[in-house]
Structure 1
Amino acid sequence: MSGDRVLAGIALRLLAIFFLSTMSALVKWGEHRGATLFEGMFWRQACALPVVLAFVMRGPGGLASLRTTRFRGHLARAMVGLVGMVFTFGAVILLPLAEATTFQFTVPIFATILGATLLKEPTGIQRWAAVLVGFAGVLVVAQPGGAHIAPAGAAVGLLAALFVALVAVLLRQLRDEPAGTTVFWFTALTLPLIAIPYAFHLKPHDAGTWAILAATGVVGALGQLSLTAASRLAPVTAVVPMDYSGLLWATIYGWLLFGALPAPMTWVGAPIIIASGLFIVWREHRLGRQQTMTAAPDD
């Protein structure tokens, strides 16, 4: 893989994290202005759909690339992703932005647990130790019994990370599908389902709030497409460390929009969680290389 492709992948991952961090800030800002959870979710998907379709039309195959023989896989990914969106948006609403973002850093930890339990992947003591260290970092951030983070908010934040990890497992079965196809079916299949509760939460808003809701969808779609494209250009070990730039954006948005800065213990616990996640990603990359070298035929 050329260095230029890796650098492009890293740049796209950084751009994706910026877009997704902006989306989270918009979700929370919209809620502060009176928009409900289901309104945010509906407009996230409704305004994302035209962006995704435009991306697909400009790609090879155009709209014909949306045909798929993996509909059941897309349906399963969409249903799990929809539940994950409920928890992800809920965490952003219930928690300060920096803390909600920090809980998302546990995704590699949950991915390790799911890989061992659902996929029966071999998981050595080092990765299990990293899982325990990561959850120790979660306890530092959550401060059980403290007043900074409500237990319900911490639980929703962890469930959001769990479902993101579940989506990652399901996406392995769809890795041969084009990026636009995967994003399109997720958006198209979940939008009608979100429309049902949204119909019971219709509310009038001012122009600024409607603009925020619309921007949530556009920015979210750009983030999702950038994230998928980055994974195709560069190895996971190169791009995943870029995810931690989300804490910087969450801190900036939290301060600018809500006058909130991360709690002192968040700065202590976040590096522990980040170190755990990075070790897991590095360990998986190293084991993958060893397996490739073992399987390669002798010259």
Structure 2
Amino acid sequence: MEAKRDDSGVRNVLITGGAGYLGSAIAPLLLEDGYHVTIYDCFRWGASPLLHIASHPNLTVVKGNILDEEHVKKVMADADAVVHLAALVGYPACASEPEMAVSINVQGTENVTKNLKAGQRLIYASTGSCYGAVQGICTEETPISPLTLYGRTKAEGEAFVLAVGGVGLRLATVFGVSPRLRLDLLVNDLTNKAVQKRCFDLYEGSFRRTFLHVRDAAKAFVFALQHYGSMGGQAFNVGDESMNLTKLQVAKMIEANVEGCQISESQNGTDLDKRDYEVSYAKIRSLGFKANINMEMGIGELLKIIPNLSSEEAAKCKNV
């Protein structure tokens, strides 16, 4: 099949970490739009997230490590655009493997930016975790002050990307079902606990977070690819103000949808992830991007899948 070349001349898109939670949702969107997609991944959690697109003639799959700079350079050579997702993602994952987090999230990103050629587009999965605890509403002009290793490493990676003219998408906390399901992300984790335990305590439920469904997150990368002329060299918050919610608000939405569930707010424990913030998404919305999948919809789809996971599947989804 002839691969698409869009109005800017982009035809070949490389996705680092393309078999992960987000990459396995982005790749089908790009393939549907007619791009040729190369997925570069170490397949730490297997290749099954790509089964739904394996037969597509415009898909190429390459096994490799983002820390292997020479291999990265070789794979990047023919790409018109790079969607850089390869990372250790989330506070718990980075806290459990800190050295790996620094090497993959920082050095891995530098390997990509060092080998970006003139004219190649680069779109980077950054995070709202860069902000930390902020009074008022975060905009892209708000000074970043990450509180976790995850936030710090992603902020360092974002600096590399912006320095070479790339786009940094500061994603809200992503949730929902994707071909590579994760249960260690906040909403997915709370939903899994509601199904498995029914009753449990929630620490520091008043902390404000902001959320984004994984399919809307995927859509944002395609949007950035196709609006690169307006977005290059900048960071953008990605999410929707309607999902600026406290942890307790999310917990109560889950509780209402799981029979016999009771989630209590506890004053005794502490959440080691101290982020507490509200975010504005006006900048990317002004270009025409809109998130469409709300929290209730995402919880509903999680409840179709989580109760039916085998113990082996659930363990793998927790990254253990």
TM-score, normalised relative to structure 2: 0.26
Q: Which has the higher helix share?
A: 1
Q: Which has the higher strand share?
A: 2
* Greater RCO (Cα-Cα under 8 Å, separation 6 or more): 1
